[in-house]
Amino acid sequence: MQKIQSNPASKIKLNLLRKKIFTFDQLISMLKCSVRSGRNKLKEWQAYSSYNKNGSYYTLPSVPHFDKNGLWQHKDAYFSQNRSLKNTIVFIVNRSSSGLSGSQIGDILKLSPRSFLHHFRRTPGIQREKHG
């Protein structure tokens, strides 16, 4: 594969800013580069990955306008200012005065609690409590 040259990469970056979100395959196709070079470019650009859709969508840092929960949505891809679903859930729960139920977290994240709650049983920063 060819080495990425900075001038074409900056033009591609402008195209990606206009698109708002993109996939990794779209990125390496536009850059005409290897998978490794594509990952390096995402890291260099400090791109956000989606917390849904298996993290398959990316956006550049100047694109999202995050809400009070640090979340941003474009089409059906969701992004977090906290970068990962785990960090996002800890942030949302900790800023709540009395904690949140799984369904409340799901409503905020626009995800089914079944898709993520079982991963957080032993997460530092939050704990599960039974009420009622």
User: For residue 127, what pLDDT is reported?
Assistant: 67
36 pLDDT higher than 90: yes
Q: Name the residue among 20, 95, 93 with its Cα closest to residue 58.
A: 20
Burial class (CB in 10 A: 0-12, 13-18, 19+), 108: middle
The tokens for 60 are: 């550049």
Tell me the pTM.
0.84
Residue 75 has pLDDT above 70, yes or no: yes
Tell me, what CATH number does 37's domain have?
A: 1.10.10
Q: Supply the pLDDT for residue 10.
A: 84
120 close to 89: Cβ distance less than 8 angstroms: yes
In this structure, the answer to whether residues 52 and 92 fall within a common structural domain is no
pLDDT at 4: 53
Residue 106 sits in which domain range? 84-120
How many structural domains comprise the chain?
A: 2
Which residues have C-beta within 8 Å of that of residue 67, sequence separation ≥ 6?
none
In a domain, 43, yes or no: yes
Question: What confidence tens digit (pLDDT) does each residue in 101-124 have?
Answer: 889 999 999 999 888 877 777 777
pLDDT for 3 equals 57
Locate the DSSP E strands across 1-132: 22-23, 48-49, 57-59, 71-74, 77-80
